[in-house]
Amino acid sequence: MTSIRRYLVTLLIALLTLTSFLAALQSYRLSSAQAQKLFDDDLKALAASVLAPYLPDDPHSTSTLAEANAIQLWQGGQLVYHSAQTPETLLSTADGYSEQNFAGKRWQTFRQSIDDLTVIVAQPLQDRLALSDQVVLASIYPVVLSLPLQALLIWLLVGRGLKPLLELTRQLTQKKADDLTPLQLEQTPTELDPVLSGTNQLLARLDDAFAREKRFAADVAHELRTPLAVLQVNLHNAQQRWQEAGLADPDRIMPALQDGVSRMSALIEQIMLLNRTNPAHFSAKLQRLDFAALCREVVIDLYPQIERRQQQVALEGDESVWLDGDAFALKLLVVNLLGNASKYTPEQGQIQLSVKQEGQKARLVVEDSGPGIAAEEYSRVFERFYRVGGDRHQSGQPGSGLGLAIVQDIALLHQGTLALGRSALGGLAVTLELPLCH
Amino acid sequence: MRVLLVEDDQALAQGVQLALSSQGFAVNHVSTGAAALSSIRSGDCDAVVLDLGLPDIDGLDVLKQTRHKFPRLPVLVLTARDGVDDRIRGLDLGADDYLVKPFALPELFARLRVIERRLGTASSHLITVGNVVLDSTAHQVQVDGEALTLSRREYVLLKLLLESAGRIKTREQIEASLYAWGEEVASNALEVHISNLRKKLPKDFIKTVRGVGYSVSVA
C-alpha cells in the first residue's frame, strides 16, 4: 500500500536535502576560494610590510608588492616608508581603526604606535565591500542556480505521485455505460483506497441490482410457467371429459377458460421477453449470422400455426444474408413479426417475407393480406401494451400489446430501423433494416 | 408406445399422464432424475418425456447420460427454462424435440406421434393424412382406397412428408433423409421427384412453401 503523501514528503525532503547539500557544497567552495584570496592578499601585504624597512631609503620609491593597500611608517614624526599611492601626510591621528579619505577614495585605516614608531595601514573601503559582496554572492549563486533544477524535479515527482489518481480518472472516463466491472489500480495509494473501494462497492451493488432485476422477470416467468402448464393440461383433460360425458356448453365456458389461459401465457411470455430485450439490461452478443437462414427457421417454427389458419406463406430474396447480430433477439424479432402477420390476417390469407442485402444493410419486409393498420396508428403500435382498437381488437385475437415494443427494442439494439406501410397484398408491410456490420 | 414421463410437478405429471393415457400411450411416471435413469437403464420405455427442472439431477445431465448409453432412445424435452440457449443446448445434447411450458397438449401428442412413427412402434403401421394412407409394413400407399404405384424414392419422400405432416421439411432435410435411406438425390432433381409425386396425389396435397421447403397439411 503506497501513500501519495508519504511518497511526496519523502521524495521532496530527499530532493531538497540533495540540492541544498549540492548548493552548500558549491558555496563552500566559492566562499572558501574568496577567503583564500583575502588571506593571500594579506600575506602579500605582510610580506611587503616586512620588506619595507630594507628597501632603499627613498620614501618615494614605489613598491609593487602592496599596490592595493596603503602603508605608512613613521619614526619620530618622520615618514620613513609609504607605499606607492599613499600621500605623505599623516593618514590617521589616533591609534586603532578609523575611516579616512585620501587619494580620492575612502579607506579603512588601522594605526598602531610603539614608542616613536607609528605604522598606519589602510585598505580601500570599496575593495572591502566588493570582496564581501563576492563572498556573499558566491554563497548565494549555487542556491539560486539550483532552484530551476529543484522545480523540474518536483514537477516530475509530483507527476509520478499523482499517477494513480490520473489512472483512476482515466479508467472512470473510459468506462462504458454498461461496464460494471470493478476498477483496478496496479498500486493503490492509501488516499485513493477509500475512493477505489467505495466506487467498486457501488459498481458491485449496481451490477447486482441489474442482475437481480433481470433475473426477477425471468424467475417470475419461470415460476409461472409450470402452474400455467398445469392449468392448461388439466383444462384440456376437463374439456375431454366434458365432451365424453356428452355435456353441453351453451355458455361456452370451456372456450372462455381456454382463452383466458392462452392470454395469460402469451402475456407472461411477452413481459418476460420484453424485459430480456430491454436495451438497458440486455447485452447483445453480436456474432456473424445468416439472417436469411434465421428467417427460414422462423417460418419452419411457426408453420404449424400458419397452416392451422390455412394461410399461404412464402419467403423470398437472397439465399443468405450475413450480418452481425444476436441470434436469440433477432429470432424473437422475426417470430413476433411473422406471428403478428399470421394472427391478424384472416384464414386463407397470404403472408410474404422478403429478405435481401441492399448495400451495407439487410432488409426484411413482412407483408400480409390482413386488414392492416391505419396510418395514424403507426407510431402508437410500438408503445407498450398498446393495441389497435383497445381490448376489443376486431380480430378477436388475444394479444398483449407488447410484441411490436419488443420488435422495436431489438431493432434498436442492432441500430436498425423499422417502418410500417401498406402492402401490395392489401395489409400491413413492416420493413426492417439492419446494418450488416457494427 | 411406452412413454417415460420425468416430471417433478405432481399436478402437471398427473394431468399429462391422464391425457397421454387417453391417447393410447402407456405412461410410466417418475419424479426424479435418479429414478428416470434407473428406469431408462431397465429398458422399459420407448420414448422419454423429460422435464429439465428436476429436484436431484439437472435434466440436461439426465439427457446427456441417456444419450451416452442409449443413443437411439428418443427424448422429448419439456422445459420451463427461458431462452433459446437452453433449447439449443438440449438439442445439442441429443434431445429429439422440445416443448416450452406452458404447452398445448395436442402439440405434445403430435410430437410423440412423430417419434412413434419413426420408431415403427405405432399400434398401426398406417399413416393417414386426409384421404392418403401409407402402410409402412406393406410399403404401400393408397388414395381413397386405390393403390398408387410409387418408385422407392417417391415412397421414401412421401413417408418423410407424411411423418411430419403439418410441418415444413426443408430441401436440406429431405436430401439428408433420402441420403440416409441410400437414395442419393442431386439437389436439382428434388423438384422433379416432388412434381412426379404430386401428379399421383390429390391436388395441392404437397404444398410448396416458397423459399423454405415442402409440407403436407394435417387436415
CB A423 within 8 A of CB A372: yes
pLDDT given at position B91: 64
- Inform me whether the pLDDT recorded for A303 exceeds 70: yes
Residues of chain A in contact with residue B218, where contact means CB-CB under 8 angstroms, are 307
pLDDT given at position A62: 47
Count of CB contacts below 8 A, A vs B? 96
Cα dihedral: A285, A291, A293, A299 (round 10): 100
Counting Cα atoms < 13 Å in the Cβ hemisphere of A148 gives 2
pLDDT given at position B83: 56
The answer to whether the Cα torsion of B160, B116, B101, A209 is positive or negative is negative
Distance from CA of A233 to the nearest CA of B (A): 6
Residues of chain A in contact with residue B103, where contact means CB-CB under 8 angstroms, are 229, 232
Distance from CA of A249 to the nearest CA of B (A): 21
Distance, in Å, from the CA atom of A92 to the CA atom of A99, rounded to the nearest integer, reads 9
User: Could you tell me which of A368, A364, A355, A371 has the C-alpha nearest to residue A312?
Assistant: A368
pLDDT given at position A94: 84
Mean pLDDT of chain A: 83
Nearest to B209 among A272, A314, A328 (CB): A314
- The Cα diameter of chain A in Å comes to 167
Query: What does the pLDDT average to over A196-202?
Result: 90
Inter-chain touch B19–A240, beta carbons under 8 Å: yes
pLDDT given at position A270: 78
Q: At what angle do helices A193-244 and B105-119 cross, to 10 degrees?
A: 80
For the stretch A11-31, pLDDT in tens is 888 888 888 888 888 888 888
User: Could you tell me which of B161, B164, B149 has the C-alpha nearest to residue B190?
Assistant: B161
Beta-carbon contacts of B2 under 8 Å, excluding residues fewer than 6 positions away, are B25, B26, B27, B28, B44, B45, B46, B47
- Inform me whether the pLDDT recorded for A65 exceeds 50: no
Distance, in Å, from the CA atom of A415 to the CA atom of A321, rounded to the nearest integer, reads 17
Which pLDDT tens digits describe chain B residue by residue (219 residues)?
899 999 999 999 999 999 999 998 999 999 999 999 999 999 889 999 999 888 898 888 899 899 888 988 999 988 877 655 555 555 666 778 888 888 889 889 988 988 887 776 555 678 888 889 998 888 889 999 888 898 888 898 998 898 888 889 998 888 888 887 777 777 678 888 899 999 999 888 999 999 999 999 876
Q: Is B187 on the interface with A (CB under 8 A)?
A: no
Domains present along chain A, CATH in parentheses: 4-158 (3.30.450), 193-273 (1.10.287), 284-435 (3.30.565.10)
Residues of chain B in contact with residue A315, where contact means CB-CB under 8 angstroms, are 209-212
Q: Reduced to 3 states, what is the DSSP secondary structure of residue A428?
A: strand
Inter-chain touch A307–B166, beta carbons under 8 Å: yes
Inter-chain touch B105–A233, beta carbons under 8 Å: yes
CB A416 within 8 A of CB A432: yes
Q: Is B11 on the interface with A (CB under 8 A)?
A: yes
Q: Which residue of B has its CA nearest to A239?
A: B19
Distance, in Å, from the CA atom of A13 to the CA atom of A49, rounded to the nearest integer, reads 52
Q: Which three cell numbers stand for residue A77?
A: 614624526
Inter-chain touch B218–A296, beta carbons under 8 Å: no
Nearest to B211 among A276, A304, A315 (CB): A315
Q: Is B72 on the interface with A (CB under 8 A)?
A: no
Distance from CA of A288 to the nearest CA of B (A): 17
Q: Which residue of B has its CA nearest to A270?
A: B82
Distance from CA of B26 to the nearest CA of A (A): 17
Query: What does the pLDDT average to over A343-359?
Result: 94
Mutate to test the interface with A, among B209, B217, B218 (most CBs of A within 10 A): B209
Enter the DSSP assignment of A293: H
For the stretch A386-416, pLDDT in tens is 777 665 555 667 666 778 888 998 898 899 9
pLDDT given at position A1: 55
Query: What does the pLDDT average to over A120-144?
Result: 80
Residues of chain A in contact with residue B80, where contact means CB-CB under 8 angstroms, are 222, 225-226, 229
For the stretch A232-252, pLDDT in tens is 999 999 988 888 888 888 888
Residues of chain A in contact with residue B83, where contact means CB-CB under 8 angstroms, are 276, 328
Q: Reduced to 3 states, what is the DSSP secondary structure of residue A91?
A: coil
Distance, in Å, from the CA atom of A20 to the CA atom of A18, rounded to the nearest integer, reads 6
Q: Which residue of B has its CA nearest to A319?
A: B211
Q: Which three cell numbers stand for residue B174?
A: 429431405
Inter-chain touch A228–B215, beta carbons under 8 Å: no
- CB neighbour burial string for B169-197, b if at least 16 within 10 angstroms, e if fewer: bbeeebbebbeeeebebeeeebeebbeeb
- The Cα diameter of chain B in Å comes to 55
Distance, in Å, from the CA atom of B175 to the CA atom of B190, rounded to the nearest integer, reads 8
pLDDT given at position A31: 81
Q: Which three cell numbers stand for residue A140?
A: 548565494
Nearest to A234 among B15, B84, B213 (CB): B15
Distance, in Å, from the CA atom of B45 to the CA atom of B37, rounded to the nearest integer, reads 11
* Apex A376 CA angle, A370 and A379, nearest 5: 90
A291 to A129, A158, A320, A357, B173: CA distances (angstroms) = 96, 56, 7, 10, 19
pLDDT given at position A308: 87
Burial of B214 from C-beta contacts in 10 A (0-12 / 13-18 / 19+): buried
Q: Which three cell numbers stand for residue B166?
A: 403439418
Residues of chain B in contact with residue A226, where contact means CB-CB under 8 angstroms, are 9, 12, 53, 80, 101
Q: Is B102 on the interface with A (CB under 8 A)?
A: yes
Distance, in Å, from the CA atom of B93 to the CA atom of B32, rounded to the nearest integer, reads 19
What's the N-to-C CA distance of chain B in angstroms? 24
- Inform me whether the pLDDT recorded for A154 exceeds 80: yes
CB B24 within 8 A of CB B14: no
For the stretch A36-56, pLDDT in tens is 877 787 777 777 767 766 665
Q: Using DSSP bridges, classify how beta strands B2-6 and B47-51 pair: parallel, antiparallel or unpaired.
A: parallel
Residues of chain A in contact with residue B102, where contact means CB-CB under 8 angstroms, are 225, 228-229, 231-232, 261, 265
Inter-chain touch A353–B211, beta carbons under 8 Å: yes
HEC secondary structure over chain B:
CEEEEECCCHHHHHHHHHHHHHCCCEEEEECCHHHHHHHHHCCCCCEEEEECCCCCCCHHHHHHHHHHHCCCCCEEEEECCCCHHHHHHHHHCCCCEEEECCCCHHHHHHHHHHHHHHHCCCCCCEEEECCEEEECCCCEEEECCEECCCCHHHHHHHHHHHHCCCCCEEHHHHHHHHHHCCCCCCHHHHHHHHHHHHHHCCCCCEEEECCCEEEECCC
- Inform me whether the pLDDT recorded for A284 exceeds 70: no
Q: Which residue of A has its CA nearest to B17?
A: A233
- Look at the block and give the residue holding cell 440486455: A282
Residues of chain B in contact with residue A283, where contact means CB-CB under 8 angstroms, are none
pLDDT given at position B92: 64
